[in-house]
Structure formats: structure tokens, C-alpha cells
């Protein structure tokens, strides 16, 4: 049944915070994508959130904090390396899986003993969470399976009539969901469960820097802390790329991050991926009546494609920022197929590839 949704400006944070405290749902902006927020300690509110986006109950939610001060209420115990990673990447598009504490209801974690925690960078998000005084459980504010909203209009299109309020925070700076990681101490690695704008390379660099310790202690006598820290340089970063929705990348990743097994990020138009460095040899064959294309600069010369429906991105960051908005635009102009050139697999390119391959459900552009 449709609910009257309040549309709020960034100066109406008090109202939004009161709704969260009241156990209602509030869609709010973050630097990645818009989130569908509920009080993480309120079982009924969390259930409403699952219902509003028709999310499978076995797919856990991320708990958002206003800052690391509130960490112990939601996650415990937090190891030294885990804390150091959070101190490095929070606030930002980074989510860490930790043991779940009492302040978070089991439904948030879909019954798992762990909880995913993130401190958003977006000022409006952080102020909303701080004002509400609650940890805020928030999946992306899309309906299950669809692309995540990355601006106010898309958030309205997805959630108006299903939530108490939608808070306007403009366009999301990164445009793709946060990097989700967990630390596997036995295997001595940081496992990337979902790639994002905090890249595999950035995490690797952080491990080396954290192992070296703060500069002022460099010449001092090694203490217990510095010995533990030094061991962090042996930790690797691992990520295994997805092959589409089914079957998902690796058995292990699916078991540990249940969200990665569900269909995801799909616009109405059928998406077909085109591997990098293939464009000269491949003029995409007919895949639909009105075909959109997303490519990296420079623009390829594909005479068959209607140039009105081509989006060109300067680099992977820009590709990520405009990815879901481009999907929505192709749908709005009636494209029935989208050919998406995959970026190279490094940096943010890894995350963009992941979203595109899932959106395409493994389909590749046929070449003529
Ligand atoms: O950028 C983001 O992370 C956005 C904004 C709103 O913060 N949120 C988001 O949430 O993308 P959602 O629910 O769409 O994706 C959460 C991801 C899923 O892949 C889920 O499986 C994983 O995080 N996840 C959540 N809790 C987990 C846990 N306890 N263990 C492993 N993976 C978990
Ligand atoms: Mg999502």
C-alpha cells in the first residue's frame, strides 16, 4: 500500500532523524549511492526495510555509523588490524565485516554472527546518523535486483510511496557501492567481498604503511604493538572476480557475503559486455532495435550505432560515477540493449567490471 513520503531538504535533518528514532524508513544520500535507512537496533524497522525493497531475508545489511566512536556498540571484539583499517579508510566508501555486538538486531545480519560496518563520508549522512543517535542499517535504496539510485530523482523513482521520507543530498560522488572486506587472519589476507572505490591497490598500500607504523616510532625500541604491526606486511589482499550472477565468483565469497549471489544492478535494457581492447576488431552485432553504448574515451567508430545513445567516459572513476545514472537514462530513452565496454581490471576498473558483468548476467556483445 502506498505511503505518503515526505521529501526533505538537507536543512530538514532533525525531522529525518526523528523518523529514524521512531522506527520509520528514511532514504538518505551517501557518497556511494543512496541508502534506505532504519534503526539497526529496532527489529520492526529493519523488517520494514527488507519489505520496502523486496530484499531476500538472507542478504545482510550494512550498519552505518556517524563516526568510529560508536563502533563498540555494534561490533565486538575489533582486532588491532581491523581497527587500523577503519582508521585508514573511514569515513569513506569502505565497509568492514566484524563480529556482531548486542546493539544490532540479528535480522540486520540475516542471522550471521558478523556485521558489516561503514562510516559514510557524505556530510548529510553523517549528520543524520549523529542526530538520530542510532546505528543506521541501510541497504542501497533500489528495489532488489535493480541499479542503485545515485541522485535524488532516482531515489524518488525507486522508493517514493514505500518509505516515510527521502532526504535530498544531490548527486553521489562515487556512484558505485562501497568496498566490502573482511580480514582472514588464518590465511593472512584481507578478502575483498565486493570491490568498490577503495581499491585492492589502496588496501595493499595501507597494509604496508600500517606495518611500518607511525614515523615517529620508527627508530624506537620495538614494543608488543610494533611486533604485531610488523606482521601486517605479510597480509595479502585477495579478490576473485565475478562471472555474472549465477554461479557467482567463488563459492567462498558467496557463502561469506551472501549479497553477491543475488541478481543485481540490472536496468530494463539488456546489458552486453565488450572486453577491453576489442573494439577495433568488434563491431557489435545486432542486439536490439535501439542500442545504447557505454565506452571509455576515445569514442570508437561504430557506424551502425546511433551516436545519440553513446556515453563516453574519460576513466574508470567517471564510468563508476555515471554508471547507474546512464542505465536509467538509456531506459528512459527507450533503449532495449546496452553495450558496455569493460574497463581494464585495475583500480576502480575492478569494481566497474564487477557491476557490469552482474548487470549483463554474463552476456557478452556478439561481434560481427
Ligand atoms: O555503498 C554502500 O555500501 C551502500 C550505501 C547505502 O552505504 N550500501 C549498500 O548496501 O550497498 P547493500 O545492502 O546494497 O549491500 C551490502 C553488501 C551486500 O553484498 C551484503 O552481502 C554485504 O554487503 N554484507 C552485509 N553484511 C555482511 C556480513 N555480515 N558479512 C558479509 N557480507 C555482508
Ligand atoms: Mg544493493
Which pLDDT score, from 0 to 100, does residue 249 have?
A: 46
Dist. CA 142–CA 148, nearest whole Å: 5
Which pLDDT score, from 0 to 100, does residue 5 have?
A: 98
Which pLDDT score, from 0 to 100, does residue 174 have?
A: 98
Ligand 1: centre distance to CA 283 (Å): 37
The whole-angstrom distance between residue 129's C-alpha and the CA centroid of its chain comes to 18
Q: What is the pTM of this model?
A: 0.94
The residues lining ligand 1, judged by C-beta closer than 6 Å to any ligand atom, are: 30, 32-33, 35, 59-62, 95, 97, 109, 112, 114-116, 118, 138-140, 177-178, 180, 193-194, 256-260
The number of C-alpha atoms within 13 Å of 15 and in the hemisphere containing its C-beta is 14
Which pLDDT score, from 0 to 100, does residue 286 have?
A: 78
Dist. CA 79–CA 182, nearest whole Å: 11
Dist. CA 42–CA 134, nearest whole Å: 10
Which pLDDT score, from 0 to 100, does residue 279 have?
A: 79
Dist. CA 312–CA 2, nearest whole Å: 38
Which pLDDT score, from 0 to 100, does residue 246 have?
A: 40
Neighbour order of strands in the sheet with 165-167: 6-8, 165-167, 26-28, 35-39, 136-137, 62-64, 114-118, 94-99, 179-184, 189-194, 236-238
Give the DSSP letter of residue 229.
Answer: H
Residues across the chain: 368
Which pLDDT score, from 0 to 100, does residue 220 have?
A: 59
Q: Which segments in the chain show pLDDT lower than 50?
A: 244-249
Query: Backbone dihedral region of 334: left (phi > 0), alpha (psi from -120 to 50 degrees) or beta?
Result: left
Which pLDDT score, from 0 to 100, does residue 259 have?
A: 60
| 8 A C-beta contact, residue 179 and residue 197 | yes
Give the mutation target among 62, 154, 262 for probing the ligand 1 site: most ligand atoms within 8 A of CB: 62
The number of C-alpha atoms within 13 Å of 223 and in the hemisphere containing its C-beta is 5
Q: Which residues contact 347 (CB under 8 A, 6 or more apart)?
A: 199, 201, 316
Ligand 2: centre distance to CA 139 (Å): 6
Dist. CA 74–CA 342, nearest whole Å: 37
Which pLDDT score, from 0 to 100, does residue 243 have?
A: 53
Dist. CA 311–CA 295, nearest whole Å: 6
Which pLDDT score, from 0 to 100, does residue 248 have?
A: 42
Amino acid at each position: 500500500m502506498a505511503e505518503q513520503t515526505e521529501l526533505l531538504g538537507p536543512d530538514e535533518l532533525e525531522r529525518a532523524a526523528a523518523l529514524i528514532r521512531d522506527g520509520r524508513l528514511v532514504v538518505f544520500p551517501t557518497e556511494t549511492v543512496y541508502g534506505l535507512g532504519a534503526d539497526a537496533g529496532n527489529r520492526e524497522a529493519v523488517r520494514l526495510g527488507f519489505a520496502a525493497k523486496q530484499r531476500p531475508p538472507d542478504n545482510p545489511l550494512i550498519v552505518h555509523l556517524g563516526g568510529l566512536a560508536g563502533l563498540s556498540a555494534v561490533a565486538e571484539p575489533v582486532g588491532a588490524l581491523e581497527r587500523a583499517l577503519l582508521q585508514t579508510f573511514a569515513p569513506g566508501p569502505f565497509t568492514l565485516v566484524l563480529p556482531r555486538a548486542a546493539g544490532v538486531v540479528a535480522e540486520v545480519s540475516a542471522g550471521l554472527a558478523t556485521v558489516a560496518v561503514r562510516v559514510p563520508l557524505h556530510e548529510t549522512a553523517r549528520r543524520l546518523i549523529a542526530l538520530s543517535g542510532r546505528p543506521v542499517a541501510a541497504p542501497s535504496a533500489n528495489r532488489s535486483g535493480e541499479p542503485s539510485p545515485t541522485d535524488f530523482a532516482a531515489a524518488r523513482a525507486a522508493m517514493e510511496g514505500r518509505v516515510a521520507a527521502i532526504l535530498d543530498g544531490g548527486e553521489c560522488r562515487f556512484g558505485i557501492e562501497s568496498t566490502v572486506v573482511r580480514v582472514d587472519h588464518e590465511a593472512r589476507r584481507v578478502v575483498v567481498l565486493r570491490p568498490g572505490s577503495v581499491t585492492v591497490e589502496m588496501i595493499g598500500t595501507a597494509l604496508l604503511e600500517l606495518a611500518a607504523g607511525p614515523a615517529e616510532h620508527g627508530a624506537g625500541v620495538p614494543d608488543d604493538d610494533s611486533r604485531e604491526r610488523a606482521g601486517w606486511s605479510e597480509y595479502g589482499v585477495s579478490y576473485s572476480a565475478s562471472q555474472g550472477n549465477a554461479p557467482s565468483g567463488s563459492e567462498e565469497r558467496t557463502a561469506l557475503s551472501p549479497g553477491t549471489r543475488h541478481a543485481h544492478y540490472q536496468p530494463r535494457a539488456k546489458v552486453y559486455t565488450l572486453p577491453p581492447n576489442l573494439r577495433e576488431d568488434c563491431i557489435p552485432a545486432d542486439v536490439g532495435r535501439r542500442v545504447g553504448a557505454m565506452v571509455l574515451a576515445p569514442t570508437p567508430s561504430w557506424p551502425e550505432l546511433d551516436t545519440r545513445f553513446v556515453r563516453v567516459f574519460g576513466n574508470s572513476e567517471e564510468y563508476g560515477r555515471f554508471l547507474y545514472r546512464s542505465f536509467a537514462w538509456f531506459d528512459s530513452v527507450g533503449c532495449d540493449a546496452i553495450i558496455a565496454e569493460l574497463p581494464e581490471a585495475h583500480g576502480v576498473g575492478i569494481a566497474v567490471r564487477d557491476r557490469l558483468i552482474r548487470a549483463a548476467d554474463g552476456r557478452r556483445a556478439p561481434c560481427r
